[in-house]
Structure 1
């Protein structure tokens, strides 16, 4: 008997390779997943201008990164709600604690979301025509909209993501993070104390699904080789000056050096 619904995750037409250059832009969920990629030695840039919740703000980050080339970009969409500055009519990414009266809250349509993401992808392709794009919808619910309002917002994003994938073709892929958390991990033990944000266990599970479906065999092999070195470098001894620990560090650094010979793009600060 099966006591939970398993989300079927199709494989993309592309695969993530070791130490790829990856741009993560989006909600705080993008932060959580992006940090794991950094830990695993991908050359990842994670929300370089802060958390971006809506598709237009995602576009704004990509515009600021113009000229930077990435192998893959990951867009995590949090909401279709935006804040428009009354004085300029422009969507702002951060109200910077200015008075609420200076802004008007609006909701992006499906078409507006898709248009912003099309433009972001076009900009990325100027630097790398072969860039791959992964789109996800954040599973984090926004209680301030009411839970019904939050679901409506997610529905707009899900429809926008679906249209974007159909429009763009093979180099864009929808990863069902939203569905995994809300359908497969539908238990509050997978949430933080606020009962809104997925906890570290949920994030780790999504990471495992990403690895299983999106990573190449070479990338999986790299993770396996990097794991003991990462753990060794993170070890904090009681006596750093002890001969045994110094020998341990020397051996670890030699393993890291050999790994870098195999993967020249591996960035290490030893």
Structure 2
């Protein structure tokens, strides 16, 4: 008896390996996949502006970065003594207007450098619902819990999304014509908009992705949304909020992504890095036992060996802290 609707995901080229350069931006699903790639030592810049949900803000952030546009200070606000920007997530925060300006410029520069050499760019659209600020028709990335009266909520049209993407791509291709774009629709449910409204939003995003990959040969679609909606069609694959996928669901989609996009030659490296992560998370019954001391010694040797090719400075520091703790 079959309990799920499986479907085939094509294998894409060129593959992602540990020599490729990656950039991820968009909804929290982009962050999830980006973190998994970062953790496995791929060259990844992951959501530098924090979680961005709508396609217009996502494309605008990348476009501004490549063009080195000055920060729009009219979109800076103060909340609880902190400075935020309507074009960024609340993760991008500072204690002064000048500090926030410098922080955003730094993130834009990081994005510009990575985008101009990226082999693969992962873009995840979260919602087609947008908020326009004041009377300016300026679409914001985040309302930052400001009064609803400051914004006008509306639904993006498909052509607005494709136009925003085409504008970004035309600029990117002047600097990096070979970059492959991996588009996906976030499986995270925006239920606060309403169930029918969320479905309408996702449908618009999916149609926009279809039109983009049809028009632009270097753009490809990865069906993370469809995997969640069809293969994992069960509330047990959602967290308690019934909005976000569980870790089990994320891992399942990650495995599908691996098979579709990652070069099998990188699988042994991924496996070894995952083994190191697992070893670092190990908590022994007796930290002073000879077996555990030997375990730490072998782990240190493994980290030193792999450090010739990848940055394991955080892991080595984590191991040192374990050793220091053992000595207390």
Q: How does the TM-score come out when normalised to structure 1?
A: 0.90
Task: Give the drift of 1:216.
Answer: 0.6
Partners of 1:212 and 1:206 lie apart in 2 by: 10
Aligned counterpart, 1:14: 14
CA distance in 2, matches of 1:33, 1:147: 25
- State the shift of 1:57 in Å: 1.3
CA distance in 2, matches of 1:254, 1:223: 18
Q: What number of residue pairs does the alignment pair up?
A: 266
Find out whether 1:203 has 2:203 as its counterpart.
no
1:109 Cα deviation after fit:
0.9
- 1:258 Cα deviation from its structure 2 partner: 2.8
List gaps (5 residues or longer) in structure 1: none
Shift of 1:212: 1.3
Matched, 1:267 2:311: yes
Residue 188 (structure 1) shift: 0.8
1-side partners of 2:201 and 2:194: how far apart? 11
Q: 2:6 and 2:168 mapped to 1: Cα distance?
A: 32
TM-score (norm 2): 0.75
Contact 1:66 1:123 in 2 (8 A): no
SS of residue matched to 2:124: strand
1:232 aligns with 279
User: Structure 2: any 5+ residue segments left out of the alignment?
Assistant: 66-110, 317-328
Quick check: which has more Rg, 1 or 2? 2
Q: Does 1:185 align with 2:232?
A: yes
The Cα shift of 1:19 comes to 5.9
What is the deviation of 1:239? 5.7
Whether the 8 Å contact between 1:7 and 1:179 is mirrored in structure 2 is no
Deviates more, 1:241-250 or 1:38-47: 241-250
Distance 1:118 1:237 in 2: 54
Secondary structure at 2:112 match in 1: coil
Bigger RCO (CA 8 Å, 6+ sep): 1
Q: CA deviation at 1:260?
A: 4.1
How far apart, in 2, do the equivalents of 1:121 and 1:230 lie?
A: 37
Question: Residues 66 and 124 of structure 1 are in contact (CA less than 8 Å); yes or no, is this contact kept in structure 2?
Answer: no
Displacement of 1:60 in angstroms is 2.7
Partners of 1:158 and 1:252 in 2: CA distance? 45
Q: Match of 1:4?
A: 4
Distance 2:251 2:38 in 1: 14
Q: CA deviation at 1:70?
A: 2.2
Say if 1:70 and 1:124, in contact at 8 Å, map to a contact too: no
With 129-138 and 223-232 compared, the bigger mean Cα shift is at 223-232
> Are 2:168 and 1:120 aligned?
yes
Could you say what secondary structure the match of 2:152 adopts? strand
Do 1:85 and 1:92's aligned partners in 2 also have CA atoms closer than 8 Å?
Answer: yes
Q: What secondary structure sits across from 1:158 in the alignment?
A: helix
Distance 1:128 1:253, change over 3 A: farther
Distance, in Å, in 2 between the alignment partners of 1:113 and 1:254 is 50
* SS of residue matched to 2:162: helix
| 1:127 shift after superposition | 4.3
* Aligned match of 2:31: 31
Instruction: Tell me how large the CA RMSD over aligned residues is.
Output: 2.1
CA offset at residue 163 of structure 1?
0.9
Kept after mapping to 2: 8 A contact 1:143/1:150: yes
